[in-house]
Amino acid sequence: MNCNPHSKDVLRAAFCWLITGYCAMLVGCGSSGWQYAEVSGQVKLDGQPLANAVVEFAILTPPPEGTEGDRLPVASGQTNEQGEFHLETLTPENDKINGAVVGNHRVTITSKIVERNEFEGDKILRKELLPPKYNQNSELTFNVPTGGTADCDFELSTK
């Protein structure tokens, strides 16, 4: 029998701190020190939704201290028929997280669709519709805010 009347309070406080820390890790931070936030939006080409495009975010913000040698996290998502996308990040630990790293990113958007076949070779199903300024020579940037965003929209032009 425990005669200490405060032992339950200590255990309860420790449990609360453990749960709080776990929730903070799930919502905002990975074990790598990066902070993540959910990102979604829409891509339009000449005013029309762009379906089946790949949107990629590459972080430009310097890495957190102690992560300089790690592989940088890259977020990506594919647009649906309405041009809408949600980003997911493959972390340096190879975990998938909804969203992207908080901070400034170089954004690339590609619309080329390639069917990979190791026996017959790659087959192009759709040629690139977008000018290089949106992909291989991208001029697009986006700053992911700490609270995330559902308004990450890109209005692109073929001109």
The mean predicted confidence, pLDDT, of the chain is 81
Bigger pLDDT: 22 or 151? 151
20 pLDDT more than 70: no
Least confident of 20-29, 36-45, 57-66, 123-132: 20-29
How confident is residue 94, by pLDDT bands cut at 50, 70 and 90? confident
Distance from the Cα of residue 28 to its chain's centroid: 12
CATH architecture of the region 31-156: Sandwich (2.60)
Q: What percent of the chain has pLDDT over 70?
A: 76
Question: How many other C-beta atoms lie within 10 A of the C-beta of residue 65?
Answer: 7
Res 130: pLDDT: 93
In angstroms, the CA 41 to CA 85 distance is 6
Length of the chain (residues): 159
Segment 109-132 shows an average pLDDT of: 81
Single-letter residue type at 15? F
Tell me the CA distances in angstroms from 148 to 63, 119, 151, one per residue in order: 19, 42, 9
> What does the block give as tokens for 44?
């339009």
**Residue 41 above 70 pLDDT?**
yes
pLDDT at residue 102 is higher than 90: yes
